[in-house]
Structure 1
Amino acid sequence: MSNPAIDTNDFKEKFIKGLELTFKKLLATKRLTDDTLIFSKNGKIVKIKARDIKD
């Protein structure tokens, strides 16, 4: 049987890569429509234009 720690690390890496890919697609779409992304920074809401975010 496989080691659970290895399976967890593999899943974690795949999950993070999926999140990065999803964010890149979201950013590309928002740039096309010149839209704004909304984040939370230290408990405060921050609005940033998609074109201002570097890859």
Structure 2
Amino acid sequence: MDRKTELKEKRKKIVAGLEETYQKLVEYKRYKKSPLIIAKNGEVLEIAPEEILPTTPYITNS
């Protein structure tokens, strides 16, 4: 396996892990009925647990 292919495989695993972690976070926030706190464009926002998207796509150019 060449270096480029190896890096692509590692990247896939990392992204899959991050997506699974996000899904678990959403489930937890809904269970606890607590808002998700995020920073967007330098502004701190609270998102109600009902409004949190269950998944978020990761877009890559490679």
Tell me the TM-score normalised to structure 1 length.
0.87
- Structure 2 unaligned residues grouped into runs of 5+: 55-62
**Alpha-carbon offset, residue 54 of structure 1:** 2.6
Structure number with higher helix proportion: 1
Rounded Cα–Cα distance in structure 1 between residues aligned with 2:9 and 2:28: 29
The runs of at least 4 consecutive aligned structure 1 residues that moved more than 4 Å come to none
Tell me which structure has the larger Cα radius of gyration. Answer: 1
Of structures 1 and 2, the one with the larger relative CO (CA 8 A, separation 6+) is 2
Count residues with an aligned counterpart: 54
Rounded Cα–Cα distance in structure 1 between residues aligned with 2:26 and 2:16: 15
Partner of 2:20: 21
CA RMSD of aligned residues (A): 1.0
**Matching of residues 42-53 of structure 1 within 5 Å:** 42-53=41-52
Tell me the TM-score normalised to structure 2 length.
0.78
Rounded Cα–Cα distance in structure 1 between residues aligned with 2:15 and 2:43: 25
Rounded Cα–Cα distance in structure 2 between residues aligned with 1:38 and 1:29: 13
Structure number with higher strand proportion: 1
User: How many percent identity over aligned positions?
Assistant: 30
